[in-house]
Amino acid sequence: MSFRAFTSFYTTLKQFSKNPVQSLKNTPSEVLAILEQKDVMMYVITPNLMKKLFCIHNNKLDNQKITVLENYFKKFAYQKKNQKHNNDYYEEKFSMYDNWKPDDNFLDQALIWGIKLQEKPTCEELSAFKSYWKAEGRFFYHVQWQQKLARSLITSRTMNSRLFYKRDINELPMPDKKVPIGFRDE
Largest CA distance in the chain: 82
HSE of 94 in the Cβ direction (CA atoms, 13 Å)?
Answer: 16
Task: Provide the whole-model pTM.
Answer: 0.44
Domain ranges of the chain: 10-45, 87-165
Q: Rounded to the nearest 10 degrees, how much is the dihedral formed by the CA atoms of 53, 56, 57, 62?
A: 160
Residues 6+ away with beta carbon under 8 Å from 102: 87, 120, 121, 126, 145, 146, 149
Q: Which CATH number fits domain 87-165: 3.30.420.300, 1.10.8.1180, 3.90.1170.50, 3.40.449.10?
A: 1.10.8.1180
pLDDT tens for the 186 residues of the chain, in order: 455 556 667 788 888 888 888 888 887 778 888 888 777 778 888 888 777 777 776 766 544 444 444 444 443 333 333 334 444 455 788 899 999 999 999 999 998 898 989 899 999 999 999 999 999 889 999 999 999 999 999 998 887 766 556 667 787 777 777 777 777 765
Q: How far apart are CA 105 and CA 89, in angstroms?
A: 14
